[in-house]
Structure 1
């Protein structure tokens, strides 16, 4: 487009992309300066050639931006992600968003990417199209993306003074199971994950442990009889720009052995994990990328954000 400049995003653009994000995403989607720096500017999977900002040529005023990432994992060969894309309010419906996505897709295709998803990368802002109204879904449809029919969600709950947690009867389970935080249990944990949750969950837990994740944020369910891991839950304490805990945190992934399902053992592990989250100083918990609204709802979790998955095959 005439009278505009498109350049690669750098750390110097952070304030401008934050301002555009503030106009583009509802506050509950938590696109903050911290998340933009951590999940885009400094993210190891950021694809520089496909992460662009467009400005007015003379004034330098920011018009819009796109952040893309590329897979470095064998789990997702030839895969890229549109991590985030937004256009400032005054410039919408003028083709800038389509231009940014088209240029990013060209760059991704040039390095061998064959499939591009909206969100869903390892350190994602969104697990699909955020706030998937007709306009947002239509935008990606028009660019040739296949948009799923079903929604998925992020859920949240305050866990202090939470009667659902406090009234849970764990006496049925404590004779057979014990819950402990991680204590150099790598071999047992990975044996369990490779058998029950191979792929992304096993990869993410392995990566977290090797990055020295706080052991108090890895909760393990043990079978007392066999002394083996039969369930796990990952907690995360979110931090501010200075590295201080904010009281806001995440829970998940979480899972139990297939043989135990249907016995409400998952309820027990969830409850014990929430108790551990409180011990870690977490007040409000986010559970992302799930359709299990009823399961988590029994502990007071409600839908906070909605997404729809979308992807495009590159020819």
Structure 2
């Protein structure tokens, strides 16, 4: 076995190996793979490696990340790093390849000052943790020091989900799709209410060509007090809740994240924003809708969503 540094020249065979091993559950598009694993500046190259056999055939790979966008106002990762992906060819397993790759990634992150490492949940992540559908690998991770934290789920709309109209909101609040003119008010809202990952994702959205149509804003007068993100196949980025669109014959829509300013909670705004998001995507012709990475299973069940994929969030102290 030969281990070489991660290189984008390997993007196509890496994507092919992913689909060979995981494509039935998580079908990877090369556009998504490049977006999340090569365009993200948080990919930590000293911890990201490719394993090949003596003939140069790809046996496996690991992609590690650590927060490197020091110019931004937030810092993600709680002082830790992330393993975005660890994939080994099935017939090459049991030979120490995964252990070698993981060991290299952990050592690089440790030397860079990381105090812990997470499975998934990285910026530009694929999964928020170890998929329950791959729970046969949980023991392998636990033997290497990883511990389960808690469970989150992706949720899918039911075939019977009714057509929904945008609801009225209490106290004169109203919703609209954002436009470029709303950018500064929207970022002010995120800085005030959601200054971490959601602000980061909002900044990236505008930086990479967003025009506003992926965000429904809830306003009290001219002040933004809540939001719901709505994603579809025309979005400028492949968003988290549409990652696995190839599993569906029809176009897939994504709902969320969503949030409301603490000062305005208790007025039904959260549920109303989800309904507004569903109504918007239904008007765009979407019937299959996904909400990703949530613990609020009962909340979304009120609108006909059911658990689709679940994940164990896992971490290890370095």
Compute the TM-score of the two structures, normalised by the length of structure 1. Answer: 0.84
Cα distance 1:26–1:263, how it changes in 2: closer, same or farther (>3 A)?
A: farther
For structure 1, which segment, 91-100 or 37-46, has the greater mean C-alpha deviation from structure 2 after superposition? 37-46
In structure 1, list runs of 5 or more residues that go unmatched. none
2: distance between equivalents of 1:54 and 1:188?
47
SS where residue 299 of structure 1 aligns?
coil
Please state if 1:267 is matched with 2:271. yes
Q: Deviations over 1:201-227 (max 9, x none)?
A: 22322332343312111110112xx44
In structure 2, list runs of 5 or more residues that go unmatched. 246-250
Please state if 1:156 is matched with 2:156. yes
1: distance between equivalents of 2:140 and 2:227?
38
Residue equivalent to 1:232: 227
Contact 1:78 1:114 (8 Å CA) reproduced: yes
Residue 98 (structure 1) shift: 1.1
Contact 2:158 2:306 (8 Å CA) reproduced: no
Q: Deviations over 1:149-193 (max 9, x none)?
A: x3111112278x841x42x6824x266221111132234323332
Residue 269 (structure 1) shift: 0.9
Please state if 1:288 is matched with 2:289. no
2: distance between equivalents of 1:290 and 1:30?
21
Please state if 1:220 is matched with 2:217. yes
Residue equivalent to 2:32: 35
Contact 1:23 1:89 (8 Å CA) reproduced: no
Contact 1:132 1:308 (8 Å CA) reproduced: no
- Aligned match of 1:278 in 282, 289, 295? 282
Please state if 1:110 is matched with 2:111. yes
Cα distance 1:134–1:186, how it changes in 2: closer, same or farther (>3 A)?
A: closer
Residue equivalent to 1:124: 125
For structure 1, which segment, 256-265 or 118-127, has the greater mean C-alpha deviation from structure 2 after superposition? 256-265
Cα distance 1:142–1:239, how it changes in 2: closer, same or farther (>3 A)?
A: farther
Please state if 1:15 is matched with 2:12. yes
Cα distance 1:17–1:200, how it changes in 2: closer, same or farther (>3 A)?
A: same
Residue equivalent to 1:176: 172
Compute the TM-score of the two structures, normalised by the length of structure 2. Answer: 0.83
Residue 71 (structure 1) shift: 0.9
Residue equivalent to 1:97: 98
> How many residues are treated as equivalent by the alignment?
302
2: distance between equivalents of 1:69 and 1:281?
37
1: distance between equivalents of 2:314 and 2:195?
23
1: distance between equivalents of 2:29 and 2:142?
27
2: distance between equivalents of 1:71 and 1:97?
23
Cα distance 1:207–1:61, how it changes in 2: closer, same or farther (>3 A)?
A: closer
Residue equivalent to 1:305: 309
Q: Kindly report the root-mean-square deviation, in angstroms, between the aligned alpha carbons of the 2 structures.
A: 2.9
Cα distance 1:274–1:83, how it changes in 2: closer, same or farther (>3 A)?
A: same
Contact 1:220 1:229 (8 Å CA) reproduced: yes
Residue 279 (structure 1) shift: 4.0
2: distance between equivalents of 1:151 and 1:60?
38
